[in-house]
Structure 1
Amino acid sequence: MRESETSPDEQVVSLLAPEFEEDPIGALARLRERSPLVRVGFPGGKRVWLMTRSEEIRKVVSDPRFVVDASRVPGHEGPSVTEQVLATLDLSDKLRDYFGVNLMLEDGESHVRLRRFLAPAFTVRRIEALRPRIEEISASLLDVLDRKGSGDLLHEYAAPLTSAVICELIGIDEADQPQIRKWMGEYANAEADFTTSLLSMCEHIEELIGRRRARPANDMISTLVQAVDTDGVRLSEADIISLAVTLVNAAYHTMNDFILNAVLVLEDNPAQLSLLRAHPQGLPHALEELMRIAPSVANAGTRYATQDLELAGVSICQGDALTGSIRSANFDPRYFPRPEQCDIQRVQKPGEGHLSFGTGPHRCIGAALANLEGEVAIDHLMIQRDSLEVTVSRGELTYHDPLPGGAPRLLTSLPVRI
């Protein structure tokens, strides 16, 4: 396998540079106008092509010449980008043994097979049936905050809401959910011993699988334990653990971050907030704009070129790794006129909306659930009430240090007055 070599005079961008922390939108805009593809450095010394524009990301994620499983590249040798990132985390053999197939790292029929196992939990009817329960949880959490008059919107609202929703869907008992939140909070914190937390999470899912084998319930774990594919093959225990942990992680952290940042966006755009309050029926449409401006995922999953080709005038060699900046794509003026402006009535052509859920075969399977949670949260926080106020300045907001691999910075808290 031959990869593009970095010439001595080629500029390699670090996404951990101060400019991407101080002004990420501006820094990405400068990259985007410089070139549709730029070289960036990842942990382990890997050089990756970063796609900065929406058009190239859309093409690559739907092009079968690019794969997410590096071993499918002819002549593949050495670790993938994901494997290099994992190597920096020093994961124990016991923890590695818990993980089977990964939905995000599979291609073709293997990927389709995994999505088919998960599909029953994420049908439109199944997700919409969750609305009353999500509204109940949200209202209960806000009742507590109302009585206090103030609190932390992350730890007292967003985190317990999102964890309860995904835990109930998967089958994690209510009594265990506070511990799950603690583990997931540590998992996203580079300063915490998150490998121990991740191991504890895997052990908990393993024990839950055993209980559901003995006594099935109406939850996703029970469905996965009993499911058989068209070839009569069941998922292994490691596969189920891997799928469950991946879903909890994705649903918990991304939605926490979105809810907090959507509140900040609406506070920063009072005219748009007033418009939304005057026309609350437009919330589902407004949510698309909020998802565009406040994406919780920094980069698209890494793809590998299976052959030499040209992309946007750049020569890509077989084996080259590419990723796309979701935030840059969501602010691409070629798709979004005046992208820095929040416009809850923005109209997009079909197939040209935000990329916060990805697109193509790997589009987020939980997108409908995320939209529903977002609708309920924004409705309860910002439409049904007009008193919520963030009590710290934007400069006083604090973030966790990012984990390796280009993960987004996550807010550590969001103090509010109700």
Structure 2
Amino acid sequence: MTESRPHAHDKGVRETDKPIVSLLAPEFEDDPVGSLARLRERSPLVRVGYPGGQRVWLMTRSEEIKSVLSDPRFVVDASKVPGHEGPSITELMLSSLDLSDELRDSFGANLALEDGKDHARLRRVLAPAFTMRRLKALRPGIEEMSAELLDALVRKGSGDLLHEYAAPLTSGVICELIGMDKADQPQIRKWMGEYANADADFTTSLQGLCTYTKGLIERRRAEPADDMISTLVSAVDQGGGLLSEADITSLVVNLVNAGYHAMNDFILNAILLLQDNPDQLALLRARPELLPHAMDELMRVVPSIPNAGPRYATEDMEVGGVPICKGDALTGSLHSANFDPRHFPRPEQCDVERVPKRGEGHLSFGSGPHRCIGAALSNLEGEVALDHLLLQRDSPELAVRRSALQYREVIPGGARLLTSFPVRL
């Protein structure tokens, strides 16, 4: 374990008195690992600017992030802070989208935005879809889907690995899990792509997905199937107030978004990372049984979600020795935590044999009660994709210079997603 440096307030200079750090500064795009490392050694918490003009505490170290994400004194719903006034960060971001009341409601039943009993209720109704038994049953279909997509690309000899492999694979998996009909999946994938594209008509795609989901609810009510949507409809029809139809629509919209963009980006960035580390790729090919460990390591090094969602302090306290006031918003840099040398020896080195100590793994799926419910499904998708793309055949060759790859930001300072990935096979 490395020793942390004295905190700023220990020297008589409070962190709140320092200039606000802008994560939009060029240094965080040019050298995110190094820039975050400098913040991490400066203090466990630093003040940063956030979309909507709010000031937020950014946690930079793994220990503090895990602690806050597991501490019930921090909530994701700002209205649960005693005496809270004014909009939350999420509400400010939603207000900037100029959504109708109907579309705003599509963000209602969201695991990421609920606390306590409400969060547990939603997680309980979704849990059956993510059991190991269910995932095992999905694997043959994922394998078949991946093989068909890759075979089509190989026959062409070239193509876009994002739009012709990763996107149809990840959308197909989440659609299969939810119970969306195969014939409808191209349209759903189009809506998914527009959902996080600033140049597309966001409200039209969101409205289309909501309308489709409402129609699917009625079809599954008439003809139930062995899928998530049928299970959710049954929970509504059984009564008891566990779930409403509006909840189903919201859950589907949010699951689609969470299960699509991040995995697309992970698959592509994992390929780049392993091509940058040919010794690790060679080791993985020689010992394919390492693939589960490799998935953990790749998820650590190239997380698609850079920061945890904001948490609000319900009382005055200290975090990492830094005074926090009731109502303060905190977010955690998952990227910084994943490179924290206090938990990962040689963190900047990609090591597919790395096995972290119990309780000291990466934070790309979060931690505590809100840890990603689809983590095991994401690992399964990643294993299949990397096995098919890198282990069972020669690696796809990038058809453009690395510097020519283009990205788009979902929100300022948030995830940067590749817009294409042209390859030769």
TM-score, normalised to structure 1, is 0.95
Q: Which runs of 4+ in 1 moved over 4 A?
A: 6-9, 228-231
Distance 1:188 1:11 in 2: 31
Structure 1 residues 8 and 178, CA, compared in 2 at 3 Å: closer, same or farther? same
Per the alignment, residue 215 of structure 2 pairs with 207
Q: Is the counterpart of residue 141 in structure 1 residue 149 in structure 2?
A: yes
Displacement of 1:393 in angstroms is 2.4
Distance 1:229 1:304 in 2: 35
Structure 1 residues 57 and 219, CA, compared in 2 at 3 Å: closer, same or farther? same
Q: Is the 8 A contact 1:43 1:88 kept in 2?
A: no
Per the alignment, residue 162 of structure 1 pairs with 170
Per the alignment, residue 314 of structure 2 pairs with 306
Q: Is the 8 A contact 1:333 1:339 kept in 2?
A: yes
Per the alignment, residue 178 of structure 1 pairs with 186
SS in 2 for 1:232: coil
Distance 2:410 2:169 in 1: 23
Distance 1:241 1:215 in 2: 18
SS in 1 for 2:417: coil
Q: Is the 8 A contact 1:329 1:355 kept in 2?
A: yes
Return the letter of the residue paired with 2:424. R
Q: Is the 8 A contact 1:309 1:317 kept in 2?
A: yes
Of 252, 268, 272 in structure 1, the residue corresponding to residue 276 of structure 2 is 268
Of 72, 79, 88 in structure 2, the residue corresponding to residue 80 of structure 1 is 88
Distance 2:281 2:388 in 1: 13
Return the letter of the residue paired with 2:146. S
Q: Is the 8 A contact 1:99 1:238 kept in 2?
A: no
Computed over aligned residues only, the root mean square deviation of the Cα atoms, in angstroms, reads 1.7
Distance 2:237 2:123 in 1: 11
Q: Is the counterpart of residue 356 in structure 1 residue 391 in structure 2?
A: no
Displacement of 1:35 in angstroms is 1.2
Equivalent positions of 1:6-405 (< 5 A) are 9-227=17-235, 232-404=240-412
SS in 1 for 2:408: coil
Structure 1 residues 321 and 387, CA, compared in 2 at 3 Å: closer, same or farther? closer
Q: Is the 8 A contact 2:121 2:242 kept in 1?
A: no
Distance 2:81 2:354 in 1: 40
Structure 1 residues 216 and 229, CA, compared in 2 at 3 Å: closer, same or farther? closer
Distance 1:132 1:161 in 2: 13
SS in 2 for 1:116: helix
Q: Is the counterpart of residue 412 in structure 1 residue 419 in structure 2?
A: yes
Distance 1:251 1:107 in 2: 21
Q: Is the 8 A contact 2:160 2:422 kept in 1?
A: yes
Displacement of 1:7 in angstroms is 9.2
Distance 1:320 1:208 in 2: 41
Displacement of 1:203 in angstroms is 1.1
Displacement of 1:230 in angstroms is 11
Query: Which segment is superposed worse, 221-230 or 248-257?
Result: 221-230
- Structure 1: which 5+ residue stretches go unaligned? 1-5
Q: Is the 8 A contact 1:73 1:319 kept in 2?
A: yes
Deviations 1:189-231 (A, max 9, x none): 1122212211211111111111111221111111001116999
Return the letter of the residue paired with 1:316. I
Distance 1:25 1:191 in 2: 29
Query: Which segment is superposed worse, 372-381 or 31-40?
Result: 31-40
SS in 2 for 1:130: helix
Per the alignment, residue 3 of structure 2 pairs with none
SS in 1 for 2:260: helix
Displacement of 1:8 in angstroms is 8.8
Q: Is the 8 A contact 1:159 1:256 kept in 2?
A: yes
Deviations 1:63-91 (A, max 9, x none): 11111111111111111111111122222
Query: Which segment is superposed worse, 297-306 or 271-280?
Result: 297-306
Per the alignment, residue 3 of structure 1 pairs with none
SS in 1 for 2:345: coil
SS in 2 for 1:307: coil
State percent identity of aligned pairs.
74
Q: Is the 8 A contact 1:38 1:50 kept in 2?
A: yes
SS in 1 for 2:58: strand
Q: Is the 8 A contact 1:286 1:344 kept in 2?
A: yes
Displacement of 1:92 in angstroms is 2.3
Distance 2:85 2:115 in 1: 18
Return the letter of the residue paired with 2:419. T
Displacement of 1:268 in angstroms is 0.4
Displacement of 1:235 in angstroms is 1.2
Return the letter of the residue paired with 1:210. E
SS in 2 for 1:227: helix
Return the letter of the residue paired with 1:304. Y
Distance 2:203 2:24 in 1: 22
- Number of aligned residue pairs: 412
Q: Is the 8 A contact 1:213 1:225 kept in 2?
A: yes
